[in-house]
Structure 1
Amino acid sequence: MSKPPPMKLLIETLCDTILDLPTAPLTSRTTPKTRSVSTTTLEKIISLGLELRTSLAQHEALPSPPSTPSPELLAIKAQLDNLTSKVDSLTNSPSPSPSPELHAPPTRVVASAPRDSHVIRTAVPRDASLDIVLHPVSTHTKPINKPPSDVRMQLHKYIWNHNHLQHLLSAKPGTPVIRAVVLHPDDSVRVLVYDQHQRRALMCDSSYWVKQCLPGYSISYGPPAHGHTIVVHGVPTTFKPRSEVSKADLAKENSHVLRDQPILNCHWLTHKRAAELRTAKTHSSLVIHVPTASLAQQLVASRVAFDGVLLRTEHIVLRASKCYNCFRTGHIAAYCHRPATCGNCAGPHPTRACSCPHESTPCKDIHECPHVAVNSATAAIALIRIPSPYGLNGSDAYRGPLLINPGGPGASGIETVLTETAQQLLELVGDVYDLVGFDPRGVGRSTPQAQRIPSQLQAAIWGEETLFGALPPLSIPGNVGLTLAKAEVSNAVYGQSGADYLPFINTPYTAEDMMQIVRAHGRDKLSYYGFSYGTVLGATVASLYPDSIERMVLDGVLDAQEYYAGNVTANLLDTDKAVNVFFQACYEAGPDLCAFYDSSAKQISANLDALYEQLKEAPIPVLINEASFGFVDYGMLRGIIRDVVYFPYQYFPFLAQGLALLQQGNGTAFFEFAGTTSTFSCDCANSTNPDNGIDALLTVGCNDAPVQNYSVSEWQSQFDTAAGVSEYAEVYFGLALRCQSWPVGTSSRVPSPSSLGGNTSAPILFVANTIDPATPHVGAVATSALFPGSALLTQNSTGHTSTSATSNCTASIVARYFVDASLPEDGTICQVEGEFFPAGASA
């Protein structure tokens, strides 16, 4: 006679049976012989099952379980018999007779032994069409260490407690959705549902239930047929993806990361029908499949090498298709049978038939993208909105619009919403808000657009087209005078071409525009999330409209008073500290992980100084192809390092590799990073460019600052003072010099530094890193002190804004603030997860 299954296994199997019970009213899965169960009854049975599992776990945790059944164990067995009887009475299945040995109810076949004492796997039929497969997003993801039935029950409870999911599923609370959960040896998870409609609905809403129930995992369309996938950009089209020799050569060049693991497959990113177009290009994007998620993560971190060049490498994320007829997810317009929805005004008609006078911004896969007129004689503000499902169905849970500003001044809120940042923000603040990105006055798609030089062609000839070209190194003799001379000419041109709109592009006007956007949504109070310069914008709104604040998080805080005083030096207090973190982190990582390693942090710093001196004398030429060539010089390297320390956890390995290559005379990696890989081109001499970041930055910054017209010697003296604060002063200070001879005076609307602050209707949450190269921590302390009742959350990390590192602590505090405006205690410091030089990120 075989040994009876253990009680723990019976409880797990019984809980699986409970979740398979049909609920009233009868569904297509309910047979006439099976009685339906009310939601209330099912919830009571589930509660009893959970209590039973908890009791057994507490009993098993005893130091030495008695050899004979204890009263507690006998009580648990009695509860199990009672629960089994309840389930059997509802399913009309024969009840197993209670006995001390407890026989298993005939519900499921249990597969192999668990990988540890906490995980039970169940054998379920393989049906890829009903699969939802999830994989760990990184090597730091903790594997699931609990029974599949626990995961299954958790998923059901989440579904039943969220109205929007029930709406997508067309299901009532208690309706079975998850048929089974399977844990695989590679730490992936397979969720099996009952029908295709359920699978589509869960795939549409995956960003929410996955985060809550399976943190650290991401969803894909079934198991990867060719392992885990990355994409490498800039691969020469002479590469033959189907050639085993080519794959072997690529694997050999990247053997420091692959470590004898194979490249499973590779192919071009573009479709077969685009092959003709691809042959006309010299470079394209290559998709590579590798065996494990951790290997893919390491290749992305270290960047794939091709013929000695480190190429931009990214993960590939498959997403559900989006219909541009009805804006639903899960099908394309060619197969759409739903009523049309306008992408401009959300009306019941196709977008192309819309009579709305407002110009529409290209929406990609976002629902609504109108322009809003704010004093139509002055400006039209371009918006993009991801609507909340609660707002669409009129739920009381809807909280209105959440406006975001990514910084600058000059950064586009529309572009931010069109990136993965939007999804990360929604996961943080919840889907009770409409996420609204907007281009402030003068920026991007808003009109009129700030343009100091009337056309792209003229700007290119004048040398204003890129950030790196716009910031000559001021430490080189003569460059202060050269910058001032160019500024006077450019600003004189701007005074003529932009005379009609230039005085109206500043932070206070943008603050007024934000309140108009809020009122256009039918709300009275502002919810806002601002980063970097966006914190000055937030502080300005809070000072002008203190009684109209609903929620406000300011992350990467500029000293608002110093900003309006025009003191650029206040931004430099932590810049050198951030660069010094690289030296120390490189030394501590060692030569296996940091390609720029040397005998001490001090020596690594000296090696960088030597590179600077070398580039002053002899810039390194770069030739990629006949359409992409140039050089890496001193000013470019200064700018690159300034950018890299903004996101050290992401870019320190790349910085070390690039510096090591630069020592060998190879500047390709840095040249590509600087964004100068293509020669200039435009459609016509009068074309405009939506990406007008530098012009917008200077327009807003100079309009906000007091007039500062000094002589060359006076500016040189101010620069020398700033250089005493940070050796990277020249990267920032060139912007201040460009306000010389500014064509308009400071508007009366610009607040004086002393007028900032006040008591707001809701407290403000300030967030700051301990070391921030652009917005030092002391600025956050000073600005938060202007608003009584606010709180400052400090994240113990290096980088620009808290988003430069991962911190579950910071995320939970911010998320809780958006729920109930609760603030952390004074002096709260959050730690971060991650390393500057993770294993596998070496050159």
Structure 2
Amino acid sequence: MVPLSACTTTQPGRTTPQATTESLGPAGPVPPGMERFYAQPLTWGDCAPYATSEDAKSLFGRDGLQCSRLTVPLDYANPQGDTITVGVLRHKATDPANRVGPLVLNPGGPGASGMVAAASLASQASNGPVGKRFDLVGFDPRGVGASQPEVTCLSDSERDAEREEDLGIDGSPAGVARQEADAKDFVAKCLQRTPKGTAMLANIGTRDVARDMDVLRSALGVEKLTYLGYSYGTRIGYTYAEQFPGNVRAMVLDGALDPSQDAVDSLVAQGAGFGTAFTKYTQWCTAQKDCALGTDAGAATAAYQNLVRPLIDHPLRLADGRELTFDDATLGTIQALYSQQLWAPLNSGLNELKRGRGTMLMALADQYNERDTSGHYTNTQDAFTAIRCVDDPRVTDKARIVAAENSYDRVAPFLDDGRPNGAALDSCAFWPVPNTSEPHEPKVAGLPPILVISTTNDPATPYDAGVNLAKAMNGALLTFEGTQHTVFLQGNSCVDQAGAAYLISGTLPPDGRRCAAQ
């Protein structure tokens, strides 16, 4: 190990760390043929060059952050072949005398930046028990963000144009044909514009991300991984646990995906989650003096539909020349349902819409799509599709597609556009490579006890998914009674104390433990 170098200040208010190399691996089991990857040194330095978004630029300039690149095989079946790199960010434990080790984390998506998540979490949790005792380590999964190469499908202008087209509303045969042509065009652009093309898209899935995480574990110098996964990050977690059960020290999975559900069933279950969250929102809103949906919670869904459905035929032109479509208005609403902190902005946006303005709803939709103020998108949406298309079998049964869309409208009626559903195949139906995994209950013999956290009214990952995952992995379940997506290290003292106790000392909460919103 090379000791960390001293820091030098290169500009007022910011301390830039000098590059320094640590050689801590190999640690723990090393698969045959993987020695050079598991033993690789990591060179840590300034995080600013890794920033690929406005959020990253804002966060990565803060003191105490170090970034590096991890080299991994593009195809694990051919470790002597082509390689790619994974971006990694670290914030070291603030109580080094009592340091436990690295806590590797992923925020979900799929396609979201773990580096951004770790930098953000460091600013919130560095003085709490988790930040004091653990190095917070976030990585951008292969193809995502600062990892190289990145999945690239649409340009910024093409993404803007796609949002304005709102193709998904027309369920007629002609509309379905246009949607499928657009899906095929998207696939062709992904294949053409993503460096390493077919090979990259074939090896972009969670199966390979979990293998990358084991390489990272070894390079960080630990035999046993401590992991925190949110949302889709829980899939990375349980996939890792199945592949490397003996390499796990502790694992917190918050906002779980149900490992046994396929893409269709998962989508409908998610729709039910958003439907419940919208009902909770309307109960809150109609108790406010200025609720855009009136004072009757029972009539709020109809009031919402009356506000947004006219956008189908008459999109709202904004001052910057962009158009607020039905899809953007509903996406903005969905974004706000992820956290009660966004309920007031959503109400403001709906009141704006009543007055013929759409700035707030568009801002919420941009937040969902990760579009910054300059008009640049992260590659999250492109990566989301690429990963999803190899993580699950493609869906080509058009009768099942229509049935699922009808079910979705029933469980989330606020999103119903009021028009007949079509049976358009999505991009995954035309994906150029086969799926590399499929829904199943993880086989995790030898795995130590893990902690699953599930929120009763989670809009994106319904509560029952967490219950099912805890059972499948023989883990403990901690229930949070609230309406939001994920909760650990977000300020609820009951959840945070239970999760920290488990991560630090392995102490699981008692069976049936529940935490209430504060």
TM-score (norm: length of structure 2): 0.80
Look up the equivalent residue of 2:501 and give its one-letter code: R
Displacement after TM superposition at 1:728 (Å): 6.3
Distance in 2 between residues matched to 1:400 and 1:620, nearest whole Å: 52
Give the direction of change, closer, same or farther, for the CA distance of 1:714–1:388 in structure 2 (3 Å limit). closer
1:134-166 per-residue CA deviation (whole Å, 9 max, x = no partner) reads xxxxxxxxxxxxxxxxxxxxxxxxxxxxxxxxx
Displacement after TM superposition at 1:736 (Å): 7.8
Give the secondary-structure state (helix, strand or coil) at the position aligned to 1:785: helix
Pairwise mapping of residues 547-558 of structure 1 onto structure 2 (< 5 A)?
547-558=246-257
Give the direction of change, closer, same or farther, for the CA distance of 1:777–1:370 in structure 2 (3 Å limit). same
Please say if residues 404 and 530 of structure 1, whose CA atoms lie closer than 8 Å, have aligned partners that are also in contact. Answer: yes
Distance in 1 between residues matched to 2:180 and 2:100, nearest whole Å: 48
Look up the equivalent residue of 1:598 and give its one-letter code: G
Give the secondary-structure state (helix, strand or coil) at the position aligned to 1:638: helix
Look up the equivalent residue of 2:90 and give its one-letter code: R
Please say if residues 22 and 43 of structure 2, whose CA atoms lie closer than 8 Å, have aligned partners that are also in contact. Answer: no
User: Is 2:69 the partner of 1:382?
Assistant: no
Give the direction of change, closer, same or farther, for the CA distance of 1:730–1:529 in structure 2 (3 Å limit). farther
Pairwise mapping of residues 650-799 of structure 1 onto structure 2 (< 5 A)?
650-675=341-366, 680=375, 691-710=378-397, 715-727=401-413, 737-747=426-436, 750=437, 752-788=438-474, 790-799=475-484
Distance in 1 between residues matched to 2:323 and 2:106, nearest whole Å: 34
Which residue of 2 is the match for residue 418 of structure 1?
Answer: 119
Give the direction of change, closer, same or farther, for the CA distance of 1:356–1:540 in structure 2 (3 Å limit). closer
1:293-326 per-residue CA deviation (whole Å, 9 max, x = no partner) reads xxxxxxxxxxxxxxxxxxxxxxxxxxxxxxx993
Please say if residues 584 and 601 of structure 1, whose CA atoms lie closer than 8 Å, have aligned partners that are also in contact. Answer: yes
Displacement after TM superposition at 1:390 (Å): 5.6
1:38-75 per-residue CA deviation (whole Å, 9 max, x = no partner) reads xxxxxxxxxxxxxxxxxxxxxxxxxxxxxxxxxxxxxx
Give the secondary-structure state (helix, strand or coil) at the position aligned to 1:524: coil
Pairwise mapping of residues 446-457 of structure 1 onto structure 2 (< 5 A)?
446-453=147-154, 456=155
Look up the equivalent residue of 1:719 and give its one-letter code: E
User: Is 2:210 the partner of 1:524?
Assistant: no
Displacement after TM superposition at 1:784 (Å): 0.9
Please say if residues 338 and 484 of structure 2, whose CA atoms lie closer than 8 Å, have aligned partners that are also in contact. Answer: yes
For structure 1, which runs of at least 5 residues remain unmatched after alignment?
A: 1-323, 348-354, 682-688, 834-843
1:664-707 per-residue CA deviation (whole Å, 9 max, x = no partner) reads 212222233333786757xxxxxxx7x20011101111110113
Give the secondary-structure state (helix, strand or coil) at the position aligned to 2:282: helix
User: Is 2:329 the partner of 1:634?
Assistant: no
Look up the equivalent residue of 1:813 and give its one-letter code: A
Give the direction of change, closer, same or farther, for the CA distance of 1:452–1:758 in structure 2 (3 Å limit). same
Q: Aligned to 1:534, which of 233, 236, 253?
A: 233
Please say if residues 772 and 800 of structure 1, whose CA atoms lie closer than 8 Å, have aligned partners that are also in contact. Answer: yes
Distance in 1 between residues matched to 2:188 and 2:303, nearest whole Å: 43
Which residue of 2 is the match for residue 503 of structure 1?
Answer: 202
Please say if residues 492 and 517 of structure 2, whose CA atoms lie closer than 8 Å, have aligned partners that are also in contact. Answer: yes
Please say if residues 796 and 830 of structure 1, whose CA atoms lie closer than 8 Å, have aligned partners that are also in contact. Answer: yes
Distance in 2 between residues matched to 1:657 and 1:727, nearest whole Å: 21
User: Is 2:34 the partner of 1:372?
Assistant: no
User: Is 2:436 the partner of 1:436?
Assistant: no
Which residue of 1 is the match for residue 31 of structure 2?
Answer: none
For structure 2, which runs of at least 5 residues remain unmatched after alignment?
A: 24-40, 49-59, 75-81
Displacement after TM superposition at 1:734 (Å): 11
Please say if residues 766 and 791 of structure 1, whose CA atoms lie closer than 8 Å, have aligned partners that are also in contact. Answer: yes
Q: How many residues align?
A: 466
Which residue of 2 is the match for residue 617 of structure 1?
Answer: 313
Distance in 1 between residues matched to 2:89 and 2:482, nearest whole Å: 32
* Greater displacement, 406-415 / 566-575: 566-575
Q: How well do the aligned residues superpose, as a CA RMSD in angstroms?
A: 3.4
Distance in 2 between residues matched to 1:680 and 1:721, nearest whole Å: 35
Displacement after TM superposition at 1:720 (Å): 2.5
Give the direction of change, closer, same or farther, for the CA distance of 1:426–1:437 in structure 2 (3 Å limit). farther
Look up the equivalent residue of 1:737 and give its one-letter code: D
Displacement after TM superposition at 1:494 (Å): 3.0
Which residue of 2 is the match for residue 326 of structure 1?
Answer: 6
User: Is 2:179 the partner of 1:483?
Assistant: yes
Displacement after TM superposition at 1:543 (Å): 1.4
Displacement after TM superposition at 1:761 (Å): 3.7
Which residue of 2 is the match for residue 464 of structure 1?
Answer: 159
Give the direction of change, closer, same or farther, for the CA distance of 1:766–1:680 in structure 2 (3 Å limit). closer
User: Is 2:332 the partner of 1:647?
Assistant: no
Displacement after TM superposition at 1:804 (Å): 9.9
Displacement after TM superposition at 1:379 (Å): 1.8
Look up the equivalent residue of 2:458 and give its one-letter code: D
Distance in 2 between residues matched to 1:466 and 1:644, nearest whole Å: 23
Displacement after TM superposition at 1:816 (Å): 1.1
Distance in 2 between residues matched to 1:470 and 1:558, nearest whole Å: 31
Please say if residues 506 and 701 of structure 1, whose CA atoms lie closer than 8 Å, have aligned partners that are also in contact. Answer: yes
Give the secondary-structure state (helix, strand or coil) at the position aligned to 1:771: coil
Give the direction of change, closer, same or farther, for the CA distance of 1:506–1:424 in structure 2 (3 Å limit). same
User: Is 2:498 the partner of 1:813?
Assistant: yes
Give the direction of change, closer, same or farther, for the CA distance of 1:831–1:472 in structure 2 (3 Å limit). farther
